[in-house]
Amino acid sequence: MTPDPKRRGILIGIAGGTGAGKTLVAQSIAQDLGSDSVLLIEQDSYYKDLHHIPLGERENRNFDHPDAFDRDLLRQHLEKLLMGDEVDMPAYDMRTHTRVGQPLRVRGRPILLLDGLLVLEDPTLRHLMDIKIYVDADPDIRFIRRLKRDLTERGRTLDQAIRQYESSVRPMHLQFIEPSKRYADLVIPEGGYNFVAIDLLKTKIRSLLADVK
């Protein structure tokens, strides 16, 4: 089936610093509106594959810099998904910093939610977006959440997590992520726990969804 060139999905970008709660916001929207209407896309799936680099050296890479992502592939996939086409979304392992297994075949939905640290930093991605969201939270809260996740989900030691935060996470947040807030149409403080803001956002998305159905 050939996608209708006149029909276009709606892309909502959800950015914010590590541990801000942006994924919680995106998941809340996706669960409420349903998988038939919403496709959740994580920018983390588009990290560059580092299988060609020795495992011990991968940990020293800067994963919070825009160049850590395969931005061209992400943009190409978004353009296809917005037209209702199918793409093979990479599967990325944060423990090994490599793409693993078979990519996930997904088809575009009326609403695409793009969740990631730097989705508002990239002008080519912003150009595709209909709504731009920045999820905010206090730095100490974000650090604690990041630390817990690194220790429990990513197999890092306490020293590794702190060293990475000091050497790249915090500097890149100040250089790239925090400044991207100025491009947001809506800033949500308190992350996924700001139920009033999330409910207002859901109402807006339902209104847009009604227009494209």
- Taking alpha carbons only, the member of 123, 32, 39, 29 closest to residue 83 is 39
The structure tokens listed for 10 are 């709606």
Place of tokens 């495992």: 55
Domain for residue 43, yes or no? Answer: yes
Place of tokens 């353009």: 79
pLDDT at position 110, please? 94
Domain for residue 126, yes or no? Answer: yes
pLDDT at position 156, please? 81
- Taking alpha carbons only, the member of 106, 111, 99 closest to residue 207 is 111
Domain for residue 124, yes or no? Answer: yes
Question: Strand 111-115 vs strand 10-16: parallel, antiparallel, or unpaired?
Answer: parallel
Residues with pLDDT less than 50, the chain:
1-4
Report the CATH number at residue 51. Answer: 3.40.50.300
Q: pLDDT > 70: what percent of the chain?
A: 96
Domain for residue 213, yes or no? Answer: no
Domain for residue 102, yes or no? Answer: yes
17, 177 Cβ separation under 8 angstroms: yes
pLDDT at position 213, please? 60
The structure tokens listed for 191 are 């992350």
173, 64 Cβ separation under 8 angstroms: yes
Count of structural domains within the chain: 1
pLDDT at position 8, please? 79
Query: In 101-186, which residue ranges form alpha helices assigned H by DSSP?
Result: 123-128, 139-152, 158-164, 170-172
Q: Residue 33 and residue 202: Cα distance in Å, rounded?
A: 8
- Taking alpha carbons only, the member of 92, 189, 69, 94 closest to residue 149 is 94
How crowded is the C-beta side of 180, counted as CA atoms within 13 Å? 26
Question: Strand 186-189 vs strand 131-136: parallel, antiparallel, or unpaired?
Answer: parallel
User: Can you give the residue range of the structural domain that contains 156?
Assistant: 10-195
Domain for residue 201, yes or no? Answer: no
Give, in order, the Cα–Cα distances in Å from 211 to each of 15, 40, 181, 207. Answer: 25, 20, 28, 7
pLDDT at position 97, please? 84
